[in-house]
Amino acid sequence: VIGVSVVAPNVARVMAIARVEPLTTARALRGPFDYLLPRGMEEVEVGAVLRVPFGGRRMLGVVVEIADRSELDAERLAQPIAALESGVPAELVRLGLWTAREYCSTPARGLRLVLPPITPGGRLRRSRNGTDDPGADIEVGASARPVHLSGAQDSAVEAIVRAVDGGGAERELLLHGVTGSGKTEVYLAAATAALERGRGAIVLVPEIALTPQTVGRFRRRFGDTVALLHSQMSPGARADEWRRLRDGAARVCVGPRSAAFAPVSDLGLVVIDEEHDPSYKQEGDPRYDARRIAARRAAEAGAALVAGSATPRPESWLAMRRLELPSRVDGRRLPPVELVDMRASRSPGPLAPRTLEALRETAGLGGKAIVLLNRRGWAPFLCCRSCGRAFECPRCDVSLVLHRRAERLTCHHCGHAEEVPNACPECGSVTLARQGAGTERLEAELAGALEPLPVFRFDSDSAAGGAHGAILTRFEQAGPGVLLGTQMVAKGHDFPDVMLSVVLDADATLRFPDFRAEERTFALVSQLAGRSGRGERGGRVIVQTLSPEAPSIAAAARHDAAGFLAGELRRRKELGYPPFSHLIRIGLAAAERGDALGVARRLAEALDAALPADSELLGPAPLFRLRGRHRQQLLVKSLDRGAGIAAVRDTVERAAHERALRGAALSVDVDPQ
C-alpha cells in the first residue's frame, strides 16, 4: 500500500507530500505543514528549501520529511511555489531539529543554524565577484609544511588517528597541553590523516578576530581545502564557503561555534580548540553549546572528537580520555608566578609597588609586558561626595561606568550613555568621587609611571572597528612596551619577547556568584601566565589578589591544572553541580515587575508537576533589571538530563499557548554558563 492512496473509487495515484517547517521565529507556530509536490517537483528531498504559500502569504520553509500520504485531504493541500537552488544535507536537517529540541527552541530556529545565508527574497547569497577572499589576514610565524613532532605530540596524533579509524569508546579525546606545547601541530597532523582517508574535518576556534594565528596555520597547510566561516565575512562570502563545503570542494572547515553546523560530509575529525572558551556557548535562542553539537556530530559520523586546552573544563576532564602534552615545544619551563597579596598593600592605586618595580625591570631588560585588568573604562563607579548619590543606568540596575576620553557615563549592559555631570543633580555638590579603576585609567597611570615606555590599551573600546590587528602589530614592533587590556590580552596571540605578565584584581571573576567562578579564574590566570616567557630570555608572572589562598589562584600559580581540577570536581560533586547534574535556567522578563514574577510563579507550578522526582526546582529568584525589563529566573537541577529537558520543553511549549503566561518574555538556557 505504500506509495498509493485511494483518492476516489477506482482511482489510485501516488502522492508525493513534502512536510515543511516554515522559517518563522514564533514560538507558538510550528509545523510541519504538508504540501503536495506537483509534477516536476518530485525530485524535492529532505533539506530542500521551498517557497510555499502560507496563510495568504508566502514563506520559506525547509522540507523535513517526504511522505506518500497526508492526514489532510489532498484538496486541502497547497503546492510549493518553487524550490531554492540550495539544499541542506538530510543529516544537517536532523541536527538542526535535534538542536531545537535539546535547547527547548523551535524547529525553525534550529533549522536556521544549518542553512547558508539566504537573502530576504529567498535567494542563496553570492559574493559579488565569486572569489571573495574570506581570510584577508594570512599569518606570520606558521610553517606551511609539517614540522617534526615531539614524542608526546606523536603519541597524541596516533591516538587521534586510531579514533578516526574507529576507536570505539575512545573516540572523545582531551588534548591537555600548556600554552606553547604544540596542540595546533597535533590538530594539523590529525586533519591530514583524516583527509588522507577521504574524511572531512571541522575545527572550532574561539572568536576568529582573537585567534588569527590558528586560522592562518590551517590555511597555509591545507590551502583551498580549508573553508573559513565567520560572522565578519559578508553573507555572500559565507555562502560561497558554505557551498564549497557542501559540494566537497573544501573538506576542512575552520570557524567559531556556528561552524559546528558546517556542511562537511564524511566527517572524520572534529577539533574544539581552547575547549574551555565561553564563546562556544551561544547567547541567543537557541542557546546551544557548540561543544555538545560537535560531540553529537562526531558520534553520529563515527568521527574522532578532540577537545584541546591548557585549562580544560571539569566536564571534559572527567569524561574524556586524556592525551597529555606536558612541556613546551621549545623546551622552556613555565614562568614562575608571584602572588602579591593586596590586603597588605598600602598603595592608593590599582598597582602594587612590587608590580611597578617589575614592569620597570622588564623594560630595563628590553622586554615587553602584558597587563590584564578585566574592567573597561576609567572608573566603574561615580558618586556624590556630599550626599552619596550613585549614578546608575536608568534602564538597568547597575552603576554607570565613567569613560573619560569619550566624556560619557555608559552602561556596560545596555549601551545607554549620558554626559558626564558637572554637579550632583540631587544636592548640587560639584565634588563627585570616581571610584575604582578600569583599563582607561590604568593606561594613564602606567604611561605616567613608566614614561617614556609606550603603553598600548587593548580592550573592546580601543579595538572598536576592527583595530585588533593594528594594536597588536604596534605592540609587536615597539620593542619594550606594555600591552594593557581586558581578557582580550590573554588570548590567541604569541609574542616571544614578552617577559612579564601581570594580572590585576585576579579576584574580579571570583566575586561573581556563580559556580563556575573558580574555573573561570583559573583559566584566565593560567592563560595570561602562558603569554610570558616564550622567548629565550624567559619570563615571570605577577598576580595581584585579595585572596591568594583561593584554590583557583593558588593552583594557577603552581601551573597545576590536575590539582585544581581534582579539587574542583570534588567540590562540584558535594554541591551536586555539573558535571554531576544538569542545569536548565528559565528566564522571564517583563516591563512590569509583577508580570515577570506572576508568570514565573505560574510557570514554576507547572514545572513542578512535570519534572522528574530526582530533579530540583529553585526560584523564582529576581535578577537585576536589564534594558528596562524586570527579570526573574527559575533553575532546574536534574540528574536525568533527557527527562529534565523534556519536562521543561513540554511545559514551555504549552505555556506558549496559555494566555496567563503571555505577560512575560521567556527564555530557556540548557547548560547555562
Q: Which is nearer to DNA, 79 or 460 (CB)?
A: 79
Nearer to DNA, 77 or 643 (CB): 77
Nearest CA-CA partner of 50 in 95, 96, 85, 14: 85
Residue 338 sits at φ, ψ, to 5 deg, of: -110, 125
Q: How far is the CB of 659 from DNA (least distance, A)?
A: 5
Smallest distance, DNA to C-beta of residue 654, A:
14
- In the DSSP assignment, the letter for residue 118 is B
Nearer to DNA, 56 or 448 (CB): 56
C-alpha distances in Å from residue 79, one per residue of 36, 40, 124, 473: 5, 12, 22, 57
Q: Cα separation of 295 and 170, whole Å?
A: 13
- Residue 32 or 533 with smaller CB distance to DNA: 32
Q: Which residues bind DNA (CB under 7 A)?
A: 24-29, 32-36, 52-57, 70, 72, 76-78, 659
**Minimum distance from residue 110 beta carbon to DNA (Å):** 16
Question: What is the residue-wise DSSP string for 462-498?
Answer: TTTTTTHHHHHHHHHHTSSEEEEESGGGGSS---TTE
Phi, psi of 497 (to 5 degrees): -95, 20
Nearer to DNA, 73 or 549 (CB): 73
- Minimum Å gap between C-beta 38 and DNA is 12
Task: Tell me the closest approach of the beta carbon of residue 52 to DNA, in angstroms.
Answer: 7
**Minimum CB–partner distance for residue 599 and DNA (Å):** 15
Residue 67 CA to residue 269 CA, distance in Å, equals 34
Which uninterrupted H or E stretch holds 325? strand 321-325
CA-CA distance, 425 to 444, in Å (whole number)?
29
Torsion of CA 654, 659, 664, 669, to 10 degrees: 0
The nearer residue to DNA, 39 or 343, going by C-beta atoms, is 39
Q: How far is the CB of 442 from DNA (least distance, A)?
A: 45
Least CB distance from residue 22 to DNA, whole Å?
8
Nearer to DNA, 54 or 103 (CB): 54
The span from the CA of 131 to the CA of 117, in Å, is 17
- Closest to DNA by CB, 29 vs 643, is 29
Whole-number minimum distance, CB 217 to DNA, in Å? 44
Of the pair 40, 55, the CB lying nearest DNA is at 55
CB of 648 to DNA, least distance (A): 19
Nearest alpha carbon to residue 288 among 412, 164, 480, 102: 102
To DNA, the closest distance from the beta carbon of 159 in angstroms equals 48
C-alpha cell at 12: 489510485
- Cell readout for 379 is 572608573
- Asked whether the beta carbons of 169 and 219 are under 8 A apart, the reply is no
According to DSSP, the β-strands at 337-341 and 540-545 are parallel
Cα 307 from Cα 323, distance rounded (Å) = 10
Do 50 and 35 meet the contact criterion of CB atoms below 8 Å apart?
A: yes
Per 3-state DSSP, the chain is made up of helix, strand and coil in percentages (nearest 5) of 35, 25, 40
Whether 257 and 265 have beta carbons less than 8 Å apart is answered as: no
Q: Which is nearer to DNA, 100 or 260 (CB)?
A: 100
Query: What's the length of the chain?
Result: 673
Taking the least distance from each CB to DNA, the nearer of 36 and 490 is 36
* DSSP classification of residue 343: T
